[in-house]
């Protein structure tokens, strides 16, 4: 299990232990993280699991692939260089301690 | 009080459009969820099919496009490969091909872009309600529910208002192709297969294509490159463009898909206001937070797209049965939306329901409705404007459902209103 923290726009934090192999959109929904919706179940057909990756973790989560990059153009909250769709970030041992910022729509 | 109590005997034939004329057979779905969650139906119109009715099973299977493909047809009817190629849109493809096409139009239907329509939609609602409510007693489906999505279609594809009734009539002939009120070519009663290469197996597809060609050539001459019809023809990241056939089918999809689903959601919402009077009081209470949640509850309640079909790409086991490669599997979203394992009091309309992870848009899979943000916005604005004007609302006659096991909709809804 790895430790993941979602920081909400209102200052609240939600932390959870996430099984490696699970994507972080599913993990967010399982832990009732608000504003991470995941309408398409992680199939890159929506952009409703948008998060900002904390600066310290950006190198480890990597850059979006081509389709994710295109879908990041339709997020409800502003797109930033640290924007990712959380369904495309998969829990792995090297992400233990990961911090994600959840934008308020 | 519940809005509507299903009257089927619990053993409705899901292949029969006639089994749906009293509304979706929810006693049958409830029995299947309880006793036979992967149910087989023999069908005299083609190969039999499996039905999946539980919320959790559909959630699991809908995302698994490698196991259950959309690329061999998405309705109950069988298609040859030739027919499939002639009639498909990106709805009938799987990722990654599906995603490459979808991404071209995704922005035009995204929440922030759709939100810019708010002023226009509110104005359309004003016009529609001013006209309809004058009457006092009227058919709410025809005078209200049908009007809004039809007029929005004009804004989205950029066609003159005077063409809209014709376009919507053709759209109805496509989607409601099993109800004799909407088409002369009733799908399960046709004796010829003359239209099998046309979108939705319907001659209306050919007429719409002729219209689309003229429209596009007019736009080209005028140098008009706005709108989704232009976007869909742009090359994808690999430089591929869609064929003329696929463009024709996309045009038909846009005309048909966004139209009747939003229409029947609005109609179901109005019926709910008639049957549960406290709902109108709530909308008139001034509590703004209700508008965040009510559109999704209306859409859950309505479940206008009752199922989509997939086809198994290999053998798999579920609930002790084996689904074979090539078997058709119907995911009954309408049943999932009444599953008490997922929703408290699923037969009660609760505008404050939250969370409301309904499946009316096919949530949880790659084909989640492209127009969902537009649908939610149209419903919110229409009911906001209705609640401003109407003091009470009641049914003025019995309502009638569409003859279709695919689209669930109230096609006639006589109501009487008193105004403020």
Question: What per-residue confidence (pLDDT) applies to B340?
Answer: 97
Which residue has better confidence, B227 or B115? B115
Q: Identify the CATH number of the domain in which residue B398 sits.
A: 1.10.630.10
Question: What per-residue confidence (pLDDT) applies to B41?
Answer: 98
CB A95 within 8 A of CB A1: no
Which residues of A are less than 8 Å from B63 in CB distance? 41-43
Q: Collect the ranges in chain A with pLDDT lower than 70.
A: none
Which residue has better confidence, B314 or B168? B314
Compute the distance between CA of residue B6 and CA of residue A92 in angstroms, rounded to an integer: 48
Which residues of A are less than 8 Å from B107 in CB distance? 73-74
Question: What per-residue confidence (pLDDT) applies to B160?
Answer: 84
ipTM: 0.91
Q: Of the given ranges (A92-96, B16-20, B101-105, B194-198), which has the lowest mean pLDDT?
A: B194-198
Which residues of A are less than 8 Å from B368 in CB distance? 39-41, 43, 45-46
Yes or no, beta carbons of A40 and B368 under 8 Å apart: yes
Residue B161 lies in a domain: yes
Q: What is the 3-state secondary structure (H, E, C) of chain B?
A: CCCCCCCCCCCCCCCCHHHHECECCHHHHHHHHHHCCEEEECCCCCCCEEEECCHHHHHHHHCCCCCEECCCCCCCCCCCHHHHHHHCCHHHCCCCHHHHHHHHHHHHHCHHHHHCCHHHHHHHHHHHHHHHHCCCEEEHHHHHHCHHHHHHHHHHHCCCHHHHHHHHHHHHHHHCCCCCCCCCCCHHHCCCCCCCCCHHHCHHHHHHHHHHHHHHHHHHHCCCCCCHHHHCCCCCCCCCCCCHHHHHHHHHHHHHHHHHHHHHHHHHHHHHHHHCCHHHHHHCCCCCCHHHHHHHHHHHHHCCECEEEEEECCCEEECCEEECCCCEEEEEHHHHCCCCCCCCCCCCCCCCCCCCCCCCCCCCCCCCCCCHHHHHHHHHHHHHHHHHHEEEEEECCCCEECCCCCECCEEECEEEEEEC
| Percent of residues, chain B, with pLDDT higher than 70 | 98
Question: What per-residue confidence (pLDDT) applies to A104?
Answer: 86
Domain boundaries, chain A: 2-102
User: Is pLDDT of B192 > 60?
Assistant: no
Q: Of the given ranges (B39-53, B122-136, B199-213), which has the lowest mean pLDDT?
A: B199-213
Question: What per-residue confidence (pLDDT) applies to B190?
Answer: 67
Residue B252 lies in a domain: no
Question: What per-residue confidence (pLDDT) applies to B187?
Answer: 80
Residue B1 lies in a domain: no
Mean residue pLDDT of chain B comes to 92
Residue B32's domain comprises 17-80+111-180+258-419
List residues of chain A with CB under 8 Å from any CB of chain B.
Answer: 38-47, 66-67, 70-71, 73-76, 105
Tally of domains within chain B: 1
User: Is pLDDT of B229 > 90?
Assistant: no
Which residues of A are less than 8 Å from B112 in CB distance? 74-76
Compute the distance between CA of residue B331 and CA of residue B60 in angstroms, rounded to an integer: 11
List residues of chain B with CB under 8 Å from any CB of chain A.
Answer: 59, 62-63, 65, 95-96, 98-100, 102-103, 106-107, 110-113, 237, 361, 363-368, 372
Of B155, B359, B146, residue with least CA distance to B265: B146
Yes or no, beta carbons of A44 and B99 under 8 Å apart: yes
Residue B58 lies in a domain: yes
CA distance, residue A83 to nearest chain B CA (Å): 17
* pTM for this model (two decimals): 0.94
**Separation in Å, CA A14 to CA A41, A53, A88:** 21, 15, 20
User: Is pLDDT of B189 > 70?
Assistant: yes
User: Is pLDDT of B130 > 60?
Assistant: yes
Name the superfamily (CATH) of residues A2-102. Beta-grasp domain (3.10.20.30)
Q: Least CB-CB distance to B99: which of A45, A74, A76? A: A45
Which residues of B are less than 8 Å from A75 in CB distance? 112
Q: Of the given ranges (B78-87, B145-154, B177-186, B410-419), which has the lowest mean pLDDT?
A: B177-186
Per-residue pLDDT averaged across B132-138, rounded?
Answer: 95
What are the pLDDT digits (tens) for B238-258? 888 988 888 888 888 888 887
**Separation in Å, CA B385 to CA B129, B163, B242, B373, B379:** 8, 26, 40, 18, 10
| Percent of residues, chain B, with pLDDT higher than 90 | 69
CB B139 within 8 A of CB B145: no
User: Is pLDDT of B25 > 70?
Assistant: yes
Q: Sorting pLDDT into bands at 50, 70 and 90, what band is B2?
A: low
User: Is pLDDT of B1 > 70?
Assistant: no
């Amino acid at each position: 299990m790895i430790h993941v923290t979602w920081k909400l726009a209102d200052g609240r934090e939600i932390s959870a232990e996430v099984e490696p192999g699970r994507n972080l959109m599913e993990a967010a929904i399982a832990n009732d993280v608000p504003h991470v919706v995941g309408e398409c179940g992680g199939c890159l057909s929506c952009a409703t699991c948008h998060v900002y990756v904390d600066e310290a973790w950006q190198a480890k989560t990597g850059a979006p692939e081509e389709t994710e990059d295109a879908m990041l153009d339709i997020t409800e909250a502003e797109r930033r260089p640290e924007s990712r769709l959380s369904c495309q970030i998969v829990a792995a041992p090297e992400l233990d301690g990961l911090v994600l910022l959840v934008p308020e729509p | 009080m519940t809005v509507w109590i299903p009257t089927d005997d619990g053993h409705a034939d899901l292949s029969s459009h006639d089994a749906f004329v009293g509304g979706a057979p929810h006693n049958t779905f409830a029995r299947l969820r309880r006793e036979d969650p992967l149910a087989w139906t023999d069908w005299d119109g083609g190969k039999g099919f499996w039905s999946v009715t539980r919320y959790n099973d559909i959630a699991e299977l809908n995302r698994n496009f490698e196991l259950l493909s959309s690329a061999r047809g998405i309705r109950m009817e069988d298609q040859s490969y030739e027919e499939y190629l002639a009639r498909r849109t990106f709805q009938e493809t799987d990722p990654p091909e599906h995603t490459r096409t979808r991404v071209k139009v995704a922005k035009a239907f995204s929440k922030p872009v759709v939100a810019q329509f708010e002023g226009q939609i509110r104005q359309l609602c004003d016009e529609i309600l001013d006209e309809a409510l004058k009457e006092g007693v009227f058919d709410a489906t025809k005078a209200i529910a049908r009007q809004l999505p039809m007029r929005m279609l004009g804004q989205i594809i950029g066609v003159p208002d005077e063409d809209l009734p014709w376009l919507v009539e053709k759209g109805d002939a496509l989607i409601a192709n099993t109800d004799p009120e909407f088409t002369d070519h009733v799908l399960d009663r046709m004796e010829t297969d003359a239209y099998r290469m046309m979108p939705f197996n319907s001659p209306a597809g050919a007429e719409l294509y002729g219209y689309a060609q003229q429209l596009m050539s007019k736009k080209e001459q005028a140098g008009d490159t706005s709108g989704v019809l232009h976007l869909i023809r742009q090359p994808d990241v690999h430089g591929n463009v869609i064929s003329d056939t696929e463009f024709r089918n996309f045009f038909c999809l846009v005309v048909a898909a966004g139209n009747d689903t939003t229409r029947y959601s609005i109609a179901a919402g109005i019926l709910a206001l008639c049957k549960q009077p406290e709902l109108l009081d709530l909308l008139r209470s001034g509590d703004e937070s209700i508008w965040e949640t009510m559109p999704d509850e209306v859409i859950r309640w309505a479940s206008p797209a009752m199922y989509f079909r997939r086809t198994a790409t290999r053998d798999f086991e579920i609930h002790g049965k084996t689904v074979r490669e090539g078997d058709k599997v119907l995911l009954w979203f309408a049943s999932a939306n009444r599953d008490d394992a997922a929703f408290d009091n699923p037969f009660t309309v609760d505008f404050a329901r939250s969370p409301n992870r309904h499946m009316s848009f096919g949530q949880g899979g790659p084909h989640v409705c492209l127009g969902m943000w537009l649908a939610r916005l149209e419903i919110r604005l229409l009911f906001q404007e209705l609640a401003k004007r109407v003091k009470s609302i009641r049914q003025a006659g019995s309502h009638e459902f569409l003859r279709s096991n695919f689209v669930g909709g109230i096609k006639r809804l006589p109501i009487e209103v008193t105004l403020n």
